[in-house]
């Protein structure tokens, strides 16, 4: 399995991306770095023995900026690392694609070049969120700011299929993000979605509120891309806030500092549970290809973990398996 | 100043509400407990010296359950503690009203009995969220699941007025909850709201994402009641999750346990910063009266803190001041 990696995507690209690719390649993953070849080769040369690693470089002259308008950028920059990388996947030169770049542009390129899976109206971005025990898959986390009930129903199917095949959960529990437990709660969108999910054949566990999500009440939580993105970033913000509080407490008195020094390795290990760099990026579900999106702030470890997830998806034939599930749920026309 | 308190509101009412009223009364706040008089007096009798405290009891025979349909309950249960309490405020028998009961019913009773402030289309519930430094006021946190841009603009005005008068912030920074910084980001609702807030005369600081909210990028963050409620509950869930992680780390090794025991008072003090029981309930803004809503799980301390906030609002003439600000912003027709 070969993973095409957008060498120019992310706040510290290409340096950090190359580093991440080297990490992944050292584990045995085959990587194709797509981007400005001289720059990429320059960074690659800094790693002794890099020429022995399963890393190829494919040149792409253009770069899509983090703030560029996705559709416009993808239309105009045909030779960008994003478009070239997705095209490589389409043409069989790679089995998956990973980018920590402009996520809207990755989405647009995947739509234009790969197309949607049969029966899918709106592909979505899913996010794996680590919990105290296990994890939850939130979908959509930002691809579709305005949604209809039918879209949310499909997110439920896509999310369930993802968790089934990537994490081996036979019948993933699917929850609908809402502001109360009763079917009649919420805005017009979720009220219209509830009966669709109930009749979907999915293992629908009803509405879930913020606290249910963090307590692991569902394996998949369905929401529109606006709410999902706000949730994801608030969760990050709350982690930061809580860590700041703990740090502040430890620094407030000399004997706390001492106790804090003893505890530090334990706290660090606990923090790792929530560390996004360990969780392999966010899959784009509903397109005809294994595409993963990383955080713009991804470090090398996060890039490597994204490559690993993408390689795993390719290896198990994730996209075909999801298509099979969709067909079985007769989502396809 | 006299605060009418819904004695029957909250998961452990009336016992915990009576206890909270006693705490507040001992600080000198005058309280009118509204609810089933025999029960309320029964609990009150348990406090030595209670008859010396500034506590009255007003009988109301009915109780609105936490899960009852708000409008129906308010229409049918005219003698409920919620309706009777709001009526007491309306008729001048109290200067503010506080309830930890069914928040939808409190909202409905306030709308029916007190009515909206001049120029306000949709009153909202605001939530004070404690941060590492200071606090942020989020509005709406659940009264209006479906909103229009005009509503969000008014939430901005109401929130700014609240922070100005309750917390003395001269020109509160107002942010719009969104999923990116640029004006063109987000769903149709926030895209329509952005230019309204920019031209509003408010100190509009633009879009804020989840992390900006927790970092204190704004004093007031404006959002629809669906997103706001999801955020509030997710923040609670994340607190719980993070505390669970820290606790788990401390318990994982004997020497961590020891260090944890030393640190405990410091961590507890840090946790108090985020403790909703210290933050006085959520005001209902945009109605003709000072109404505060408490968490259903409020303990006595939280009830007392709500009474304190309600008394403060009454003392400073909050409702009149907000009306003045709205008029100055020519929100009123």
Please tell me whether residues B241 and B293 are part of one structural domain: no
Contact: B270, A232; criterion CB under 8 Å: no
Q: For residue A184, is it within any domain?
A: no
Q: For residue B192, is it within any domain?
A: yes
Range 49-78 of A in CB contact (< 8 A) with B? 67
- A207 vs chain B: nearest CA distance in angstroms? 12
Q: Kindly report the average pLDDT of chain A as a whole number.
A: 94
| Closest Cβ opposite residue A237 in set B179, B211, B227 | B211
Please tell me whether residues B113 and B193 are part of one structural domain: no
Please tell me whether residues B129 and B113 are part of one structural domain: no
**Which residue of B lies nearest to A70 if distances are taken between CA atoms?**
B185
Please tell me whether residues B36 and B116 are part of one structural domain: yes
Q: For residue B323, is it within any domain?
A: no
Predicted pLDDT of residue A331: 56
Please tell me whether residues B93 and B214 are part of one structural domain: no
Chain A positions touching B210 (Cβ under 8 A) are 230-238
Q: For residue B110, is it within any domain?
A: yes
Q: For residue A308, is it within any domain?
A: yes
Chain B positions touching A250 (Cβ under 8 A) are 263, 266
Please tell me whether residues B252 and B193 are part of one structural domain: yes
Structural domain boundaries, residue B219? 122-278
Joined together, the tokens standing for residue A187 give 């805005």
* pLDDT tens for each residue of B290-302: 999 998 889 999 9
Chain A positions touching B250 (Cβ under 8 A) are 263, 266
How many residues would you count in chain A? 333
Lowest pLDDT segment from A19-23, A211-215, B270-274, B280-284? B270-274
Which of residues B258, B278, B298 is at a domain's end? B278
- Measured CA to CA, the distance from residue B219 to residue A120 in angstroms comes to 41
pLDDT above 50: residue B333: no
- Measured CA to CA, the distance from residue B265 to residue B260 in angstroms comes to 9
Please tell me whether residues B34 and B81 are part of one structural domain: yes
Please tell me whether residues B267 and B201 are part of one structural domain: yes
Q: How confident is the model at residue A333 (pLDDT cuts 50, 70, 90)?
A: very low
Q: How confident is the model at residue A276 (pLDDT cuts 50, 70, 90)?
A: low
* pLDDT tens for each residue of A310-332: 999 999 999 999 999 999 987 54
User: Into how many domains does chain A fold?
Assistant: 1
Start-end of H helices in A131-187: 149-167
Q: For residue B325, is it within any domain?
A: no
**Residue A310 maps to which CATH number?**
3.40.718.10
- Residues contacting residue A43 through CB under 8 Å, at least 6 positions apart: A14, A15, A18, A19
pLDDT above 50: residue A298: yes
Please tell me whether residues B263 and B293 are part of one structural domain: no
Please tell me whether residues B301 and B266 are part of one structural domain: no
**What are phi and psi for residue B144, nearest 5 degrees?**
-130, 95
Place of tokens 């008029």: B327
User: Read out DSSP for A236-285?
Assistant: HHHHHHHHHHHHHHHHTSHHHHHHHHHHHHHHHHHHHHT-GGGTT-EEEE
Please tell me whether residues B58 and B100 are part of one structural domain: yes
Q: For residue A194, is it within any domain?
A: no
Instruction: Answer positive or negative: Cα dihedral of A205, A208, A214, A215.
Output: negative
Please tell me whether residues B126 and B116 are part of one structural domain: no
| Closest Cβ opposite residue B177 in set A131, A179, A230 | A230
A253-268 average pLDDT score: 89
* pLDDT tens for each residue of B250-294: 998 899 999 989 998 888 888 877 776 667 789 999 999 999 999
- Measured CA to CA, the distance from residue B296 to residue B12 in angstroms comes to 8
Q: For residue A32, is it within any domain?
A: yes
Contact: B266, A250; criterion CB under 8 Å: yes
């Amino acid at each position: 399995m070969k993973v095409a990696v957008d060498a120019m995507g992310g706040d510290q690209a290409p340096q950090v991306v190359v580093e991440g690719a080297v990490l992944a390649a050292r584990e045995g993953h085959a990587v194709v770095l797509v981007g400005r070849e001289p720059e990429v080769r320059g960074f690659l040369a800094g790693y002794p023995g890099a020429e022995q690693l399963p890393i190829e470089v494919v040149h792409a002259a253009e770069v899509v900026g983090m703030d560029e308008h996705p559709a416009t950028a993808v239309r105009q920059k045909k030779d960008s690392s994003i478009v070239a990388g997705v095209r490589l996947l389409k043409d069989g030169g790679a089995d998956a694609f990973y980018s920590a770049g402009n996520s809207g542009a990755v989405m647009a390129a995947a739509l234009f070049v790969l197309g949607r899976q049969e029966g899918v109206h709106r592909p979505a971005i899913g996010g794996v969120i680590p919990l105290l025990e296990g994890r939850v898959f939130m979908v959509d986390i930002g691809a579709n700011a305005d949604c209809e009930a039918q879209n949310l129903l499909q997110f439920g199917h896509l999310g369930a299929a993802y968790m089934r095949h990537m994490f081996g959960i036979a019948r993933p529990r699917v929850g609908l993000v809402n502001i109360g437990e009763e079917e009649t709660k919420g805005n017009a969108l979720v009220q219209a979605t509830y009966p669709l999910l109930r009749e979907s054949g999915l293992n629908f566990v009803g509405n879930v509120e913020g606290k249910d999500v963090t307590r692991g009440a569902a394996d998949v939580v369905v929401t529109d891309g606006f709410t999902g993105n706000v949730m994801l970033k608030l969760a990050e913000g709350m982690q930061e806030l809580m860590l700041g509080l703990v740090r502040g407490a430890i620094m407030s008195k000399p004997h706390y500092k001492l106790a804090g020094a003893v505890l530090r390795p334990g706290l660090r290990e606990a923090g790792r549970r929530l560390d996004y760099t360990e969780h392999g990026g966010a899959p784009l579900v509903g397109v005809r290809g294994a595409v993963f999106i990383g955080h713009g702030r991804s470090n090398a470890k996060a890039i490597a973990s994204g490559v690993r997830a993408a390689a795993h998806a390719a290896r198990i034939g994730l996209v075909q398996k999801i298509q099979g599930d969709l067909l079985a749920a007769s989502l396809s026309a």
